[in-house]
Amino acid sequence: MAHIIVVGNEKGGAGKSTVSMHVATALARMGHRVGGLDLDLRQRTFGRYVENRKAFCESAGLELPSPSYHTLPDIDPSTVKDGENIYDLRLSAAVAALEPETDFILIDCPGSHTRLSQVAHSLADTLVTPLNDSFVDFDLLAHIDSTGEKILGPSVYSEMVWNARQLRAQAGLKPIDWIVVRNRLGAQQMVNKEKMGKALDRLAKRIGFRTAPGFNERVIFRELFPRGLTLLDLKDIGVKQLNISNVAARQELRELIKALDLPEVAADF
């Protein structure tokens, strides 16, 4: 059975597609068979990323280990029975097709609350939630008092994850390993950073997630998209000397993979 990694957060711009591409490619580079699905059917950033990689490799005559990207199969609406949802059927069909031929299925979710995203969360063995270092974004996980210290209660996204966990428990599936990853951390804003860290630690215990080392704000994370590359590929395309920021970014990615603690994945690579 493939291990399903869902990357989700209802907030747009949190870094879901960036994290999806980096994690999927890192696993592929380690020799795992990785299938990718993009549930943001409109923006398709993750899908576009993988397509860009394929086009770049073809034009440069390179063969880089890559995730394979799949679209949801079409289903004839006339075959959908009463009470069934066509999106559920399309997602189930895509996962069922990938399961026998992959070790990991990575599902990138849209930055909104959709039926597809909801169902995907209930399929997650591992759920990765990138989070911008901002209380505006934190508000989708939990409401917090005016001091930024006291958690008042879970919010919409956490409640959705809670529902997904309930569904899995009822189906006898193993619990979701939920990991929140801070993204776009700045070198400044120390006070905010510390406050966010503390609030997240408190919330982690309360609603059941782990936190993993995240990514700093780095221009390289934005530059690689047109060629479909990740930080791990730079040497393979002939970059001889990585600058300090790129070395640090690559290390951040390695730390994240380690922290995800995925089955059959070496801690060091």
Ligand X SMILES: Nc1ncnc2c1ncn2[C@@H]1O[C@H](COP(=O)(O)OP(=O)(O)O)[C@@H](O)[C@H]1O
Q: Among 16-24, 57-65, 140-148, 226-234, which window interacts with Mg ion (CB under 5 A)?
A: 16-24
By C-beta, is 168 or 215 nearer to ligand X?
Answer: 215
Q: What are phi and psi of 182, to 5 degrees?
A: -75, 135
Residues binding Mg ion: number (CB under 5 A):
3
Contact residue for ligand X among 104, 111, 138, 233 (CB under 6 A): 111
Contact residue for ligand X among 45, 122, 126, 211 (CB under 6 A): 45
Is 230 a residue that touches ligand X (CB under 6 A)? no
User: Going by DSSP bridges, is the β-strand pair 142-144/151-154 parallel, antiparallel, or unpaired?
Assistant: antiparallel
Q: Among 16-24, 140-148, 168-176, 235-243, which window interacts with ligand X (CB under 6 A)?
A: 16-24
**Interior angle at CA 179, CA 111 and CA 173, nearest 5:** 95
Residue showing the smallest CB distance to Mg ion in the complex: 17
Is 25 a residue that touches ligand X (CB under 6 A)? no
Min separation Cβ 177 and Mg ion, Å: 21
Q: Which residue, among 53, 52, 9, has the nearest Cα to 28 in the 3D structure?
A: 53
Can you tell me the distance from the alpha carbon of 246 to that of 248, in angstroms, rounded to the nearest whole number? 5
Is 69 a residue that touches ligand X (CB under 6 A)? no
Q: Which does 13 bind (CB under 5 to 8 A by kind): Mg ion, ligand X, none?
A: ligand X
Residues 129-158 that bind ligand X (CB under 6 A): none
Q: Which does 102 bind (CB under 5 to 8 A by kind): ligand X, Mg ion, none?
A: none
Distance of CA 253 to the CA centre of its chain: 12
**DSSP three-state, residue 134:** coil
Min separation Cβ 84 and ligand X, Å: 29
Distance of CA 175 to the CA centre of its chain: 18
Query: Helices 115-123 & 86-98, crossing angle to 10 degrees?
Result: 40
Can you tell me the distance from the alpha carbon of 130 to that of 215, in angstroms, rounded to the nearest whole number? 9
Is 183 a residue that touches ligand X (CB under 6 A)? yes
Of how many residues is the chain composed? 269
CA-atom Rg of the chain in angstroms: 19
By C-beta, is 164 or 185 nearer to ligand X?
Answer: 185
Is 45 a residue that touches Mg ion (CB under 5 A)? yes
Say if residues 40 and 34 touch (Cβ distance below 8 Å).
no
Number of neighbouring beta carbons within 10 Å of residue 158: 20
Is 17 a residue that touches ligand X (CB under 6 A)? yes
Report the interface residues with Mg ion, using CB under 5 A.
Answer: 16-17, 45
Report the interface residues with ligand X, using CB under 6 A.
Answer: 12-18, 45, 111, 183-184, 215, 217-218, 221-222
